[in-house]
Amino acid sequence: MAAMGDERAALRAALLYEQPRTVNRGRMEIVEAQLVGVLERGIVGAVVELGCFRGAMTAWMRAVIDAHDSRRPDKEVHTFDAFEGLPPPGPYDSGYLRTGEFTGAVGDVLVLHDRFGLARPHIHAGWLADTLPHGLPERIAFAYLDADRYDSTLTGLKACVPRLAPGAVLVLDDYADPCAVPGGEITAQPKAPGVLAACREYFGEARLPRVVSTAAAGSLGLGLHRADDVNLPRPGRAPGQPRTDREEPAR
């Protein structure tokens, strides 16, 4: 991977400094590595984010796309959020993240993109259940789901997974606690247990997304689903063997 340009390094530094609650080095490395993989494999379709808050990861994904191939402005980024903060927790969620937490604004997303000279994304403001049916692109190459709640995640999976192009990747934030993986079972990220519960409901136990982490991600385990994995048994994993990929940090 090419060395990081000054503009992207400046964006990363600003996001780490200004939005540390929702982005960290680990998250950014994992998203970058997976998104670059999709771009290198030439997977068709849009890049989408469900739950953008103030647009930190939306901007990072745009910057990663531009750095990989500036001739691909056609690789559109669609980002979704109610901009009213988190909805109330349901039975599968914890109370750790409060109702209304992470209230951002469309203007935050636009200002961030303008500040770093990034093309503005398509912003779909409203609850996912209302915006996804008409706003979601027909074909998705890369999806980042970061909506924290069970209902929101399940709504997102039902909308996005059928639209993933062959070879597309879907990354779930706050999916698992990687510290618990050595025992073999995937354990929920305590702050947002509804994310794993929604994946169990949607994918079933046998096809659960894998856990991805990096040293920089700390106790954070993201979920990784590859579109062409859906109907295939996972090769080379003995029963009880943990489903964890440790990615090399992106450079």
Residues that bind ligand SAM (CB under 6 A): 19, 22-23, 51-54, 56-57, 81-82, 85-87, 102, 104, 127-128, 146-149, 152
**Which two three-digit tokens encode residue 125?**
């403001």
Residue 108 Cβ vs ligand SAM, minimum distance, rounded to whole Å: 10
Write the secondary structure of 75-104 as one string of H (helix), E (strand) and C (coil).
Answer: CCEEEEECCCCCCCCCCCCCCCCCCCCCCC
Contacts of 50 (CB under 8 A, 6+ apart): 80, 81, 128, 132, 143, 144, 145, 146, 147, 152, 156, 160
Residue 235 Cβ vs ligand SAM, minimum distance, rounded to whole Å: 32
Our CB check for ligand SAM shows the closer of 66 and 144 to be: 144
The full DSSP string for 147-184 is --SHHHHHHHHHHHGGGEEEEEEEEEEEEE-GGGGGGS
Our CB check for ligand SAM shows the closer of 59 and 243 to be: 59
Our CB check for ligand SAM shows the closer of 54 and 75 to be: 54
Closest residue to ligand SAM, judged by C-beta, is 51
Strand, helix or coil for residue 74? coil
Residue 26 Cβ vs ligand SAM, minimum distance, rounded to whole Å: 13
Measure the CA–CA gap between 85 and 15, rounded to whole angstroms: 19
207 phi-psi bin (left φ>0, alpha ψ -120 to 50, beta other) = alpha
Residue 216 Cβ vs ligand SAM, minimum distance, rounded to whole Å: 16
Residue 213 Cβ vs ligand SAM, minimum distance, rounded to whole Å: 17
Our CB check for ligand SAM shows the closer of 126 and 167 to be: 126
Our CB check for ligand SAM shows the closer of 125 and 229 to be: 125
Closest CA to 115 of 237, 18, 32: 18
Helix and strand totals (H; E) in the chain:
7, 8
Under a CB-based contact definition with an 8 Å cutoff, are residues 188 and 173 in contact?
no
Our CB check for ligand SAM shows the closer of 45 and 104 to be: 104
